[in-house]
Amino acid sequence: MLPVQPIGCNSLNMSLWVIQRDLLLAMRRRADVLTTLFFFIIVVSLFPLGVGPEINMLRTMAPGVVWVAALLASMLSLGRMFSSDYLDGTLEQMLLSPQSLSMLVLGKALAHWLVTGVPLVLMSPVLGLQYDLSTEALLVLTASLLLGTPVLSLIGAIGAALTLGLRGGGVLVSLLVLPLYIPVLIFGAGAVEASAAGLGAGAHLSLLGAFLLVSLVLAPWAAAVSLRISME
């Protein structure tokens, strides 16, 4: 069934296998990947139409707009993280596997990040030009998104696991998860602003890195607990 049999079946191989499998599935339905990306592009391009073309204002708004759009884009696709496996029953099999569920969920979250987060990161410099950001600001924006979007996927995994199989789950997951995204948004958008103001974005990026490390450790465990609760 799978082209590559998992080599030794410890937890690390398990999560690598899950990432590989999810990427394979995502590539088969390429449209899902692109919809998230196009959503991000459209939202970012909408703001100047609403706010007006005045360039100085756009430049100050750019980090906030790009970050909020990244937040919404990654949150929209959270529902798909577990739902396809939940519907066809593979999720139950995964729960029964001897390997640790947290590593499996970590794989799922990183796969979600690769499918939704990385395209946003790659696209953000182009959109930054739309807002006439300086090259240095663009670099910091991309770096902050690179550090921030995995945190969004990891925390989002908890929300996705909790709202598995609920009607109206999409809206519910945003209600659960958005308050938890706020620190990432503040330091993400703040990084670009600080570098623009000449203060240097070192502090912000290191804090984003701290969020990433903490959520890498805690979020999969919490999402695993949530999965067991939802699948009881």
Partner 1 sequence: MAINWFNYSSPASFYFLAGKMIPPFTIAATILFAVGLYIGFFVAPTDFQQGEAYRIIFIHVPAAWMSMFLYVMMAIWAGIGLAFNTRLSSMMATAIAPTGAMFTFLALWTGALWGKPMWGAWWVWDARLTSELILLFLYIGFMSLQAAIDDPRRADKAGAVIALVGVVNIPIIYFSVKWWNTLHQGASVSITQSPKMATTMLTGMLIMSIACWMYAIAVILMRTRTIILERERHTAWVGELQGATK
Q: With CB under 8 A as the rule, give the number of residues binding partner 1.
A: 26
Residue 64 lies near partner 1 (rule: CB under 8 A): no
Is 182 a binder of partner 1 (CB under 8 A)?
yes
Instruction: Answer yes or no: are the C-beta atoms of 170 and 79 closer than 8 Å.
Output: yes
HEC states along 19-69? HHHHHHHHHHCHHHHHHHHHHHHHHHHHHHHHHCCCHHHHHHHHHHHHHHH
Phi-psi region of 198 (alpha: psi -120 to 50; beta: other; left: phi over 0): left
Q: What span, in angstroms and rounded, lies between the C-alpha atoms of 89 and 93? A: 7
The reply to whether 195 sits near partner 1 by the rule CB under 8 A is no
175 binds partner 1 (CB under 8 A): yes
Among 4, 8, 98, 232, binds partner 1 (CB under 8 A): 232
Residue 68 CB, nearest distance to partner 1 (Å)?
A: 14
**Residue 163 found at the interface with partner 1 (CB under 8 A):** yes
Task: Please tell me the number of Cα atoms within 13 Å of 37 on its side-chain side.
Answer: 18
Of 103 and 154, the one with the shorter C-beta distance to partner 1 is 154
Instruction: Tell me: does residue 102 bind partner 1 (CB under 8 A).
Output: no
Rounded Cα distance between 58 and 152, Å, is 25
Instruction: Specify the residue, 14 or 208, whose C-beta has the smaller distance to partner 1.
Output: 208
Return the residues of window 143-162 that contact partner 1 according to CB under 8 A. 158, 162
Options 169, 191, 195, 201; binder of partner 1; rule CB under 8 A: 169
**Cα 71–116–27 angle (5° rounding)?**
165
165 and 230 Cβ atoms separated by less than 8 Å: yes
222 in contact with partner 1 (CB under 8 A): yes
Return d(Cα 213, Cα 142) in angstroms, integer.
19
Among 53, 98, 179, 198, binds partner 1 (CB under 8 A): 179
User: Which residues make up the interface to partner 1 (CB under 8 A)?
Assistant: 158, 162-163, 166-169, 172, 175-176, 178-180, 182-183, 186-187, 190, 194, 218, 222, 225-226, 229-230, 232
